[in-house]
Structure 1
Amino acid sequence: MRIFLSALLCFPFLLFSQITAKVVGISDGDTITVLLDGNVQKKLRLAEVDCPENRQPFGKNAKKFTSEQVFAKNIRFIETNKDRYGRSVAKIYYDNGKYLSAEIIKAGYGWWYYSYSKNTDLGKMQETAKNKKLGLWQDKKAISPWDFRKEQRENAKKKRLQKQREQQAQKEKTT
């Protein structure tokens, strides 16, 4: 009974915190742009999923999948947070209640972003997609986007250090 009353009290909050918008852009598999009332655009980062970067294998496939699911459609979203780039993190719902992050994970085009999600059902969906070798799980060496980004940052840092050493060596030669 207590749970029912809590849910009942939260229902109006949930109802009014949902926003309806039209999807007008897809940046990558987990980032979309929507058009709000008043012709205002807003970039949304999908909650609970992390898709391959566009430069990664299956990055373009993830973007295409997301586009096929929601581009030019009216969606409902609930903002859950802001990311470090200031984008709104949101749960996106479309086609009578489909949850976009879950659909991406089920199709094998994204990882359950377990660091930012308590929804273990998404982890189970990921395991099922992995076992069926769907989407990115066809690649035995699939690298999570967070590891890919970390590797990219480390490589960029190594290149900067190497360039600095070369510039220092050049200066020492000329003096």
Structure 2
Amino acid sequence: MKKLIYITLIFISNVFFSQVKGKIVGVKDGDTVVILLTNKTQETLRLADVDCPENGQPFGKNAKQFTSSQIFGKTVTFYRIGKDRYRRTIAKIFYDNDKYLSAEIIKAGFGWWYYKASRNTELQKLQDQAKAGNLGLWADKNAVSPWDFRESKKKKKVL
């Protein structure tokens, strides 16, 4: 029994935490991309540690454009962290000599550090710097986080 558990844990860790390479073939929004894997299958990746404005939200198109300018058409390396409620793969994506995409988005002011699901407090510092510099969405003094925006949309649907 212990051997079976051990083998299962090794399999799961290899599936979820192994380094994978692929080419970015689509950008759905600022924090969701589509990658073409070496076996010619596509996988939708939801970026870990960051939450970008929704497409219908101010700066949503800017966030998508920034993400696209950084990685579209490039071969990137990513690590699977888990799955979200929509069954997308949550991933940490690295590109151009180990730039961490989520950090770059936050640093440029096109996303929030997603503190509800991230323990990387360095991203809070990058967010504070972007905010202090009025970069990206922080140029709007009344910027609304994506999670608050989604919650307000749910409440409107109920009414």
Relative to the length of structure 2, the TM-score reads 0.89
Q: How many residues in Structure 1 have an aligned counterpart in Structure 2?
A: 144
RMSD over aligned Cα atoms: 0.9
Q: 1:115-169: per-residue Cα shift (whole Å, max 9, x none)? A: 11111000000000000000000001100000000000110111xxxxxxxxxxx
Distance 1:18 1:137 in 2: 33
Q: How does 1:29-108 map to 2 (within 5 A)?
A: 29-108=30-109
Pick the structure with greater CA Rg: 1
Distance in 2 of aligned mates of 1:59 and 1:156: 21
Residue 173 of structure 1 is matched in structure 2 by none
1:171 equivalent in structure 2: none
* Alpha-carbon distance in 2 for matches of 1:51, 1:75: 20
Map 1:122-133 to 2 at 5 A. 122-133=123-134
Instruction: Give structure 2 stretches of 5+ with no counterpart.
Output: 1-13
- 1:38, CA displacement in angstroms? 2.2
Distance 1:137 1:38 in 2: 40
Letter in 1 for 2:42: Q
Greater relative contact order structure (CA < 8 Å, 6+ sep): 2
Q: What are the ranges of 5 or more consecutive residues in structure 1 without an aligned counterpart? A: 1-12, 159-175
> How far apart in 1 are the matches of 2:148 and 2:40?
37
Q: Detail structure 1 runs of 4+ shifted over 3 Å in the superposition.
A: none
Q: What displacement does 1:39 show?
A: 1.3
Q: Secondary structure of the equivalent of 1:115?
A: coil
Q: Show the counterpart of 1:146.
A: 147
Q: More helix by proportion, 1 or 2?
A: 1
Task: Give the 3-state SS of the residue equivalent to 2:116 in structure 1.
Answer: helix
Q: Distance in 2 between matches of 1:18 and 1:38?
A: 15
* SS of residue matched to 1:152: helix
In structure 1, distance between residues paired with 2:82 and 2:118: 12
